[in-house]
């Protein structure tokens, strides 16, 4: 297994830089396989979503489709795949941001009864509770 940084994944997804996109495509399409997958950490996933939203102005539904494709790729292994999937579903439904939904999903995975927050928008997501 080989870890992939955010910039490799973003170059592959956006194909916006000829030289780097070509290298990223070669890595992901030719070098990686189900037997030797690329590892995407939670940090890489959150950064990728942030870059796609802020730099490339992608809508939540588009980003959710990208995450679905990543999760379906046999040559990529996503850290805490189930929690990333849950965060993608929340993003797709408009319930909250990917990062907030991932925080809640990881809290539940770790056995937390809830995740406290001051963010009133986050409480729309399962697992969050306003701190009092």
**What percent of the chain has a predicted confidence (pLDDT) above 70?**
100
Q: Give all domains of the chain, ordered by start, each with its CATH number.
A: 2-79 (3.40.50.1010), 95-132 (no CATH)
Query: What is the tens place of the pLDDT at every residue in 59-116?
Result: 999 999 999 999 999 999 999 999 999 999 999 988 889 999 999 999 999 999 999 9
Could you tell me the strand order of the sheet in which 38-40 lies? Answer: 2-3, 38-40, 76-78
Query: What is the overall mean pLDDT for the chain?
Result: 95
pLDDT digits (tens, 9 = 90+) for 82-92: 999 999 999 99
- Is there a contact between 74 and 34 (Cβ–Cβ < 8 Å)? yes
pLDDT of residue 122: 86
Q: Taking the model in full, what pTM does it have?
A: 0.90
Contact between 42 and 70 under an 8 Å Cβ cutoff? The reply is no
12 touches 65 (CB < 8 A): no
Confidence (pLDDT) at 124: 85
Intra-chain end-to-end CA distance of the chain, in Å: 44
CA 6 to mean position of chain CA atoms: 10
CA distance 132 to 119: 12
For residue 121, name the pLDDT band (cuts at 50, 70, 90): confident
Q: How far apart are CA 127 and CA 80, in angstroms?
A: 17
Rg (alpha carbons) of the chain, rounded to whole number: 16
């Amino acid at each position: 297994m080989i870890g992939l940084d955010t910039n490799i994944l973003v170059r592959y997804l956006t194909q916006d830089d000829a030289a780097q996109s070509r290298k990223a495509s070669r890595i992901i399409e030719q070098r990686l396989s189900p037997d030797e997958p690329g590892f995407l950490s939670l940090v890489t996933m959150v950064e990728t979503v942030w870059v796609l939203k802020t730099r490339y102005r992608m809508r939540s539904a588009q980003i959710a489709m990208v995450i679905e494709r990543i999760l379906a790729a046999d040559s990529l292994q996503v850290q805490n795949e189930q929690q990333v999937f849950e965060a993608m579903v929340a993003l797709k439904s408009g319930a909250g941001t990917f990062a907030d939904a991932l925080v809640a999903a990881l809290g539940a995975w770790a056995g937390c009864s809830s995740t406290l927050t001051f963010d009133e928008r986050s409480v729309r997501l399962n697992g969050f509770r306003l701190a009092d």
